[in-house]
Structures are given as structure tokens and as C-alpha cells.
Structure 1
Amino acid sequence: MDLLYKAQTRFLFHAHIRIKIPAACPDTLFGELYAVLENVDRKYNAYQPGSYIDQINRHAGSFVNVDDETIRMLEQVIDLSVFFDGAYDITIMPLIRLWGFYRDDIRRVPAPDEINAIRHLINYRNIEISGNRVRIGKGQEIITGSFIKAYATDRLAAALQERGIDNAIINAGGSTIRAINTSSDAPWQVNVTHPESEESLFTLNLDNFSYSTSSQSTAFVDIDGKRYGHILNPATGHPATNRLLGIATESAMIGDIISTGLFNETSETFLEKTAQLSLHYPLAGFVLDQDGIITATPNFSGLQE
């Protein structure tokens, strides 16, 4: 007999977060689960006034006292930033603002001298951690958009499992999906579509795994009729040119960071980097480049069986 489910959707982290759980669970559980997400949003989302990350940004140049969770989160982010050697950098916010994201007064391609003038601000190595204090350089700003929703998703998955729920799925805005199931349950299926045509590319089977996607089609600025995506290349100061990248791994946060970090890679370096990352994380993935060519890790087909 197939298990029956019920679902609820709420808007958090600038995304619709849908939680699907067994129908036998009490409806009051949804409130408990969304409270987990709201707690992460309130404490650690850079866009939330008064959050720990917001305080770090507002007091750039000075140390700010934070909690243990902020430290653990930032250390994990920095570890992967080291691997990507700056291709993934959470201090990229000044460049994002320069391109006109999060503001309405700019709609032009930045000049090279404007990009060069702020390039020194984009450097994760200037994030200093001393005990429970964090400091970034003057003029720097941390953006949490590439990981905070996924971090909250991991926290939510843990909360479900702590409550004995071993079959559920979390869809955080379509770009972060976390499946929970036991070995005796059928895996959750996720349909991956083309970012522009929306035609189906794959159907993935997720077995206690997360699936993260990065795409330039979901957030962009329109300048003189041309779309410029929100994922920027710190090395060039310009938007990355790949069209879609998907990563399946255990942790949603790790998956979101990796999918963002790899978005600036060529098809060849994508395979090199995923091979290196697979020594530390179980993962599979693919990239759809600007020419419409799909390159996948050797084990990616295993998710489609």
C-alpha cells in the first residue's frame, strides 16, 4: 500500500518552501517544522536586520560577537572557499550591487575600472574568526544567498528525523531539494528541466540525498534588452556563462555551495573539480554550458536508474 502524504508551502528565504510529510502526522507538526526554518532565517540570513551576519556586515572592520552556530557555518563555507580558490566567495556582495542587483538606480554594464576598484573587497580570506568573534574588512559585505536556504533545509531534515519521520521531502524554491527515506522505501523522484525551454532533461531518484541547482535564468538584471545572471565570476567581475548546473550529495548546504562554486568552470574543469570533491563528499552532477552541451560525472547516470 502506497504511503499517503500531505504538504504545506510557506514563503521564506525569498523562496517558496514546500514540506511534504506522511499524512498520519499531525497538522501541528508543520508549525514546528517551519519554526526551524524561521529560526535560521532570523539568526543567520544576511538579509534579516539584526541577524548575526547582518551585524557582521554593518560593523565591517570591527569584531562582532556571534554564537557557536555562526562560527561552524562560516568555517564550513570557508573550507569550501579554499577548495575553489576564490571562485566561490561569500564576500562578493559589493560586485553584485555594482551590477544593479538589489537596487533600482543602476541598469548598465559596469566599466572595467569600476570592477577593478572594488575587486580588493571580494576576498573570503579577510573573514577573521577569533573565538566567538568575527570580523570582515571595511567595505566588505557577506551574502548568504548561496547557502543559507540549504543550511536551513539540512536543519529541517535533521528535525524531521529527530521526530521519527523517515519519509519526507523538502523543496526549497526548486533549487534546493532534500529527500528523506528509509532503505525499504522507494526513492523520491525529481524532474530536472531545461532552464529556458522547461523541457524535461532527467528524472533523478533521490535516496536520502539532496539535489541543488544553480542557474542564471532565475535571477538576473536586464540591461539594454540583454539578461545578465546573478552568479558572478569573481575572477572576471562578470556573470558566469553556464546555463544550469546540478549537484546531488548528502548535505543540501554542501550541494548548494558546490553548485555555485562550479558554475564558473568549463566542462573540462567541472569534471576535474567534481572528481576531487568526490574524495570528500559522495556526489554526482552535471553542467549545461552556454552552447547547450551537457557534461555529467561518470556516476550521474546511476541517479536515473
Structure 2
Amino acid sequence: MNDLLYKVQSRFLFHAHIRIKIPASCDDAVFSELFTVMESVDRKYNSYSPDSYIDRINRNAGHFVTVDDEMASILKEIVFFSDIFKGAYDVTVMPLVRLWGFYRDKVDRIPSERDIGTVRPFVDYRKIEINGNEVRIGKGQEIVTGSFIKAYAVDRVVCRMRELGIDDGIINAGGSTIYALGPAAGDEWDIAVSDPADNRSAYSFSLLNRCLSTSCQSETFVTVDGKRYGHILDPRTGYPSPNRLVCIASDRCMVGDIVSTGLFCETRDSFTEVLGRIPREYALEGFLIDPSGEPVCSSGFCYTHEKNAA
């Protein structure tokens, strides 16, 4: 049992509350340094940040834009995983996201098949061109970073913590990306995730120097005629995925968040097969709750399920 004392600070970044928990023996200045790392990622690589590299790429769609080595490396890895998912994961999905109205105050109707058919040609990660430090997307395309950039920032923070000699702590980025470092006592951290469709039901996972990435539809959605439509869209169909929850355990947060998003658009029958396409060196384990509420997971994914009475 880990009886160490900790302290916590929280800031709002990437449209989420980011909580960093470190040993109480650390100087408070450490928090400022770690959040500065995240703020730098937000400023330079977040599609929602004005004049970020992604913002420039989007505003200049159809033309090459010069980016730094880090941005080029991030996008190359995005394309690598997009190839594995064969269209189920696509960062150029933003035109569909806008069509569904996730950025409008009120939505009166869901898009028609014709509406979706008009927009879908612009959703194609294969049109992302990376030539050294020059990047171009097709005209009418738009990259959205929500499925990976927050997690990438957490990866950067974990690296900085290790450089500072901090081998114990938790970074909780909005609940959907949680990295458990250490703890020094050697115990695993217990992380609980609620079933989005049943708040009496929770799943508990143990982490040690790993990340838990979670995808669900309960946080961001539009409501039309009393029915909720979640923000995770299947790029292949243009419609929201009906799944309830996906959790991925990984060594790197960005990889975990990408994979959890892509697998959210799979079925329970295809889940394990698609997860198996990812090279073993990524050491991923996955867990899915489908629309029926039945879980399916990879062979190495351990969890406990608790259900409280109403």
C-alpha cells in the first residue's frame, strides 16, 4: 500500500481540466514547469489554437505549409495508425464534425445521407502530404487534433517528470487520458471508469507506468428530438458510433488515445482483430463495451466490475 503524501494542481487546457499529482516533497515550482510543457504543445500543435501549425495547415488547405520537426513526426505517426485502421480513424474528420453541429448552440436535425455524402470526400487522411518539413492537405479538408494532442502533451509531461527525477504521480487529463507514474512504493494505481450508460456500474483498472485512454459518447453530443448523438463519428459512414466505452492501456498516451478513438468505431467482432494489427512493441491492451452493454477485451487486459444498487 502506498502511504506517500501528494499535492495536486489543476489547470484548464485542451478544453479539459488537467490535474497533476506529485509527491508532497516536490517544490511547487515543478507544477509551473510541467504545465508550461503542456501550454507549449497547446500553443504550437492544437488545431483549436490560433496560428498553431495545424491551424496554418487548415487555413492554407491545398498549399504546403512549413512545420517543425516535432509536428512532422506527430503527423507521420498519425498516418501510420490511420493506415492500420483503414479509415476507422481519420484526423481529417472535421468537416463531418461541423456538419453534425457539435460547435453550434442548437441543432434542429441530424444530417441527411445526402448531406453526409457531400462532405465525406473531404474526409481522407491519405490526402495528407508530408514532404520533410512541408505539409499539405487537400482543398476543403481540415485536421482536428482532439483525438491525440492532449495525450501527446501528457507524454511530454511524463518525459519531463522523469528528467526531473520524479518517478511517482498521476496526470489526469480530463478523465479520458490518465497516466500513472510509479508510485515509488511499487504499488499499482487503481483507476475507476464508469459505464456511460449506467452510473451504477464501474470498471476498475490497475496501472503502473502506463496510460489508460478512454473513449465514450457521454461528454460531447447533440440532442435532436430527444435523442443524443455522440461526437465520435465513424469516418467511413459519417454517423456516430453506437458503442458505449473503449479503454486502452498503453505505454504512450498519444498512441492509446488514437487507438481508443479508432477502436470505438469497430464492432465487438472486429475489435480484437483490429487491435491485433498493431505491432506488438506498442504493448497495447484493450477493452470495449458495445451497445448491448457486453464487454469484450484483449487477453492481457485485467479489470474488475462493480455494480451498486440503485
Q: Could you tell me the TM-score, scaled by structure 2's length?
A: 0.95
Structure 2 equivalent of residue 78 of structure 1: 79
How far does the alpha carbon of each residue in 1:67-98 deviate from its partner, in whole angstroms, 9 at most, with x for none? Answer: 11100000011100000011100000000100
Q: Does the CA-based 8 Å contact 1:100-1:107 persist in structure 2? A: no
Code of the residue aligned with 2:252 in structure 1: it is: S
Once residues 268 and 13 of structure 2 are traced to their aligned partners in structure 1, the CA distance between those partners, rounded to angstroms, is 33
Query: CA separation of 1:166/1:200 partners in 2, compared to 1, >3 Å: closer, same or farther?
Result: farther
The alpha-carbon deviation at position 182 of structure 1 amounts to 5.8
The alpha-carbon deviation at position 198 of structure 1 amounts to 2.3
The alpha-carbon deviation at position 204 of structure 1 amounts to 1.2
Once residues 104 and 263 of structure 1 are traced to their aligned partners in structure 2, the CA distance between those partners, rounded to angstroms, is 26
Structure 2 equivalent of residue 207 of structure 1: 208
The alpha-carbon deviation at position 135 of structure 1 amounts to 0.5
Q: Does the CA-based 8 Å contact 2:168-2:184 persist in structure 1? A: no
How far does the alpha carbon of each residue in 1:29-87 deviate from its partner, in whole angstroms, 9 at most, with x for none? Answer: 11111000000000000000010000000011111111111000000111000000111
Once residues 211 and 66 of structure 1 are traced to their aligned partners in structure 2, the CA distance between those partners, rounded to angstroms, is 30
How far does the alpha carbon of each residue in 1:189-225 deviate from its partner, in whole angstroms, 9 at most, with x for none? Answer: 1012111332343221101000000001111011111
Q: Which runs of 4+ in 1 moved over 2 A?
A: 103-107, 196-202, 275-280
Residue correspondence of structure 1 range 222-237 to structure 2 within 5 A: 222-237=223-238
Structure 2 equivalent of residue 26 of structure 1: 27
Structure 1 residue ranges without an equivalent (≥5): none
Structure 1 equivalent of residue 187 of structure 2: 186
Q: Which moved more, 1:179-188 or 1:263-272?
A: 179-188
Once residues 86 and 186 of structure 1 are traced to their aligned partners in structure 2, the CA distance between those partners, rounded to angstroms, is 39
Structure 2 equivalent of residue 177 of structure 1: 178
Structure 1 equivalent of residue 97 of structure 2: 96
Q: Which has the higher contact order (CA 8 A, sep 6+)?
A: 2
Residue correspondence of structure 1 range 1-305 to structure 2 within 5 A: 2-104=3-105, 106-181=107-182, 185-277=186-278, 279-301=280-302
Code of the residue aligned with 2:158 in structure 1: it is: A
Once residues 229 and 192 of structure 2 are traced to their aligned partners in structure 1, the CA distance between those partners, rounded to angstroms, is 26
CA RMSD between the two structures: 1.5
Once residues 134 and 45 of structure 1 are traced to their aligned partners in structure 2, the CA distance between those partners, rounded to angstroms, is 15
Q: Which moved more, 1:235-244 or 1:192-201?
A: 192-201
Code of the residue aligned with 2:11 in structure 1: it is: R
Once residues 86 and 199 of structure 1 are traced to their aligned partners in structure 2, the CA distance between those partners, rounded to angstroms, is 34
How far does the alpha carbon of each residue in 1:202-259 deviate from its partner, in whole angstroms, 9 at most, with x for none? Answer: 2211010000000011110111111000000111111001011100010010000000
Structure 2 residue ranges without an equivalent (≥5): 305-310
Q: Does the CA-based 8 Å contact 1:95-1:115 persist in structure 2? A: yes
The alpha-carbon deviation at position 293 of structure 1 amounts to 0.8
Q: Could you tell me the TM-score, scaled by structure 1's length?
A: 0.96
Q: Does the CA-based 8 Å contact 1:121-1:139 persist in structure 2? A: yes
Once residues 278 and 121 of structure 2 are traced to their aligned partners in structure 1, the CA distance between those partners, rounded to angstroms, is 28
Q: Does the CA-based 8 Å contact 1:71-1:132 persist in structure 2? A: yes
Once residues 119 and 172 of structure 2 are traced to their aligned partners in structure 1, the CA distance between those partners, rounded to angstroms, is 36
The alpha-carbon deviation at position 3 of structure 1 amounts to 1.2
